[in-house]
């Protein structure tokens, strides 16, 4: 069976499975729509949380970023995994014990203010919509190649699928759909990695293959990869740190605390029956997440090695990478390159007119490389490879069976759709439950609240699709912006709400607004978002990365510091919280076994 037909069958079967589960587990009440009735088993919730967490950024883009950045890409591994530990240990059990549906509801009750809740909704919507853009970007990458459609059509199809099982199923339908999606995405990620590890190093486990010796040689995979990238003018794979060490540190912190402030992940811990179950489900989720995250570095290194080995045939023979015969003739390129060229995510330009593909770093400062390039008659790098395709193209580059390639297509789409559904539910609950019911229409019926939630989800899907068609960057980079927004706005308010009984509403509101605004301004100045002439705004902050060399994706940690500083400063000059609120904070931290608490008198 040909690849295209097999891909249609595998992806179609996965869609049928998701829709079938959504219909079977459709929500019939507000409790089932928002928190799946609060009766999900911890292991089931752990698996659903892992799928919710491992988005298109994790499945599609993260290994590609590590492949491009080398050692510096480890900040995504450390930031996202470390942040989940913070969430599991410091936040999730206490928020579950509080017994509310959503993060804005927690903030509104804890800070005894509808204004605080409304500000939290605005922060949540800003972070979640930015995050959804990354998921829709990933959907476009997956569909454009494997279903043979354009990026735009892929996004439209993805919008339709998410609409079907998110709008009708709510959290209950999404939870059980995400369990199926986790199984699909983890098999799609690990099976190709196992095949490729065996082919390159003879090791069954990719984690061991990363440090293993190449088959038939005495050279390790990483040593050979280092040699190749250095010879081609790139930074050493195992030691390179893009930008400054400070930026890498701040970037990691931003991802960590942004993780702990993401509402679509936090809301999952409201779906289990007991507070203790929140801890257990967090532990199980970490186990399920670790399977992919420990495999990603191997996938990245092997994908990069295989790509260079395809384009520069001398890698296999340890010959001269700059010899004419070492470069791949464009007319003899493998079929996978031709397929990916149709998507626009892989591009070749014959700059020196020799009909061969020169793939190297033409901006290198390495004099030896520059000399060899000049002698070889090269006129600049001719191959542009979008980082987002590395995982999806990896099985094709390694010439794996068609069924493996089709499985990867289904896995990439599952990763993007699972997180998109969780984000859309967080957006829906923020609008219907936290704005309409808690602020504008307190007496609204459950039926009408559900209707408002579904309508707001439809609008969110349309907006996400539009923004997905015009993203500010690659999937993981866009997601990193969302983490920065969550880090600078929601995380400090949640942390202080749990661990500082003296923090009042004025401090929390001022902190959230200041942290969010300073972060958005720094991001907008760089990205030009919502501005006609974005470059002019760089002048206002002293140029690109002007704040100690920190990139906009990493600025969330600085925004969080501003949030904390402003919150404490305002708190010191305003009235402390009522006595019952201070008791509430103390009760929330009582060891497990206590009942859910309330901020009411």
pLDDT in tens, 392-427: 888 888 888 888 888 888 887 777 777 777 777 778
Q: Which CATH superfamily is domain 3-210+234-303+399-588 in?
A: Sodium/glucose cotransporter (1.20.1730.10)
Q: Which residues contact 134 (CB under 8 A, 6 or more apart)?
A: 55, 56, 57, 61, 471, 475, 476, 477, 478, 479, 482
State the pLDDT at residue 534.
45
Contact 284, 583 (CB under 8 A): no
State the pLDDT at residue 528.
58
How far is residue 522's CA from residue 221's CA, in Å, rounded to a whole number? 40
How far is residue 335's CA from residue 376's CA, in Å, rounded to a whole number? 27
The CA-CA-CA angle for residues 514, 515, 519, to 5°, reads 110
- Radius of gyration from C-alpha coordinates of the chain: 25
How far is residue 163's CA from residue 183's CA, in Å, rounded to a whole number? 21
- The two counts, helices (H) then strands (E), for the chain are 27, 4
How far is residue 421's CA from residue 412's CA, in Å, rounded to a whole number? 14
First to last CA, the chain: 68
* 8-state DSSP, 268: G
Q: Which residue has the tokens 């494997």?
A: 146
Listed in order, the ranges of the chain carrying CATH 1.20.1730.10 are: 3-210+234-303+399-588
Tokens of 213: 């010796």
Contact 59, 411 (CB under 8 A): yes
Cα separation values, 368 from 231, 233, 320, 373, 573, Å: 9, 9, 13, 9, 63
How far is residue 128's CA from residue 476's CA, in Å, rounded to a whole number? 14
- Residue among 409, 385, 201, 219 at smallest CA distance from 298: 201
State the pLDDT at residue 191.
93
How far is residue 458's CA from residue 138's CA, in Å, rounded to a whole number? 20
Contact 597, 578 (CB under 8 A): no
Tokens of 172: 């209950």
Q: Which residues contact 468 (CB under 8 A, 6 or more apart)?
A: 132, 133, 135, 136, 137, 139, 140, 155
Contact 100, 17 (CB under 8 A): no
- Parts of the chain with a pLDDT under 70: 22, 25-39, 55-56, 100-101, 145-147, 165-173, 316-319, 470-478, 527-542, 590-601
Contact 209, 224 (CB under 8 A): no
pTM: 0.81
Contact 183, 40 (CB under 8 A): no
CB count, 10 Å around CB of 538?
A: 15
């Amino acid at each position: 069976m040909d690849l295209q037909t097999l891909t249609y069958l595998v992806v179609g079967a996965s869609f049928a499975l998701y829709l079938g589960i959504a219909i079977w587990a459709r929500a019939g009440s507000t409790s089932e729509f928002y928190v799946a009735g609060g009766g999900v088993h911890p292991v089931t919730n752990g698996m659903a949380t892992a799928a919710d967490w491992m988005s298109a950024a994790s499945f599609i883009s993260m290994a590609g970023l590590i492949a491009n950045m080398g050692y510096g890409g480890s900040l995504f591994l450390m930031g996202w995994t470390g942040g989940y530990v913070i969430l599991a240990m410091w936040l999730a059990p206490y928020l579950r014990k509080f017994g509310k549906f959503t993060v804005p509801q927690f903030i509104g009750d804890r800070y005894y203010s509808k204004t605080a809740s409304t500000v939290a909704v605005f922060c949540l919507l800003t972070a979640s919509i930015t995050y959804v853009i990354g998921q829709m970007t990933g959907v476009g990458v997956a569909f454009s190649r494997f279903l043979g459609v354009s990026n735009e059509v892929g996004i439209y199809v993805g919008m339709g699928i998410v609409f079907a099982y998110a709008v009708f199923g709510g959290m209950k339908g999404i939870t059980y759909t995400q369990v199926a999606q986790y199984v699909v995405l983890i098999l799609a990620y690990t099976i190709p990695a196992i095949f490729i590890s065996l082919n390159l190093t003879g090791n069954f486990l990719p984690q061991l293959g990363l440090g293993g010796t190449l088959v038939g040689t005495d050279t390790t995979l990483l040593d050979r990869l280092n040699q190749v990238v250095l010879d081609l003018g790139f930074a050493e794979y195992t030691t390179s740190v893009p930008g400054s060490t400070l930026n890498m540190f701040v970037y990691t912190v931003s991802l960590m605390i942004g993780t702990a402030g993401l509402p679509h992940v936090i809301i999952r811990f409201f779906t289990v029956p007991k507070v203790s179950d929140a801890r257990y489900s967090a532990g199980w989720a970490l186990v399920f997440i670790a399977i992919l995250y420990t495999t990603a570095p191997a996938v990245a290194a092997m994908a990069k090695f295989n790509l260079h080995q395809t384009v520069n045939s001398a890698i296999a023979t340890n010959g001269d990478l700059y010899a004419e015969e070492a470069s791949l003739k464009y007319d003899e390129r493998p079929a996978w390159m031709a397929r990916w060229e149709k998507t626009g995510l892989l591009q070749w330009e014959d700059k020196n007119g020799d009909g061969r593909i020169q793939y190297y770093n033409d901006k290198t400062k390495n004099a030896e490389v520059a000399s060899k390039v000049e002698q070889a008659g090269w006129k600049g790098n001719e191959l542009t490879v979008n980082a987002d395709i590395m995982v999806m193209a990896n099985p094709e580059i390694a010439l794996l069976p068609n069924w493996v390639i089709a499985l990867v297509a289904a896995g990439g789409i599952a990763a993007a759709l699972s997180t998109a559904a969780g984000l859309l539910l967080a957006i829906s609950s923020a609008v219907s439950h936290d704005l309409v019911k808690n602020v504008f229409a307190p007496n609204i019926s459950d039926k009408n609240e559900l209707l408002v939630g579904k309508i707001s989800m439809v609008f969110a899907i349309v907006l996400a699709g539009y923004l997905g068609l015009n993203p500010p960057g690659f999937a993981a980079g866009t997601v990193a912006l969302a983490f920065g927004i969550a880090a600078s706005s929601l995380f400090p308010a949640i942390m202080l709400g749990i661990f500082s009984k003296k923090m009042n509403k004025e401090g929390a509101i001022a902190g959230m607004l200041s942290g969010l605004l300073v972060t958005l301004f720094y991001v907008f100045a760089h990205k030009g978002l919502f501005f006609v002439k974005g470059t002019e705004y760089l002048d206002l902050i002293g140029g690109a990365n002007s704040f100690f060399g920190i990139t906009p994706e990493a600025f969330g940690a600085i925004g969080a510091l501003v949030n904390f500083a402003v919150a404490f400063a305002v708190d010191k000059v305003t009235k402390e919280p009522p006595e019952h609120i201070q008791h509430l904070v103390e009760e929330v931290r009582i060891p497990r076994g206590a009942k859910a608490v309330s901020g009411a008198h």
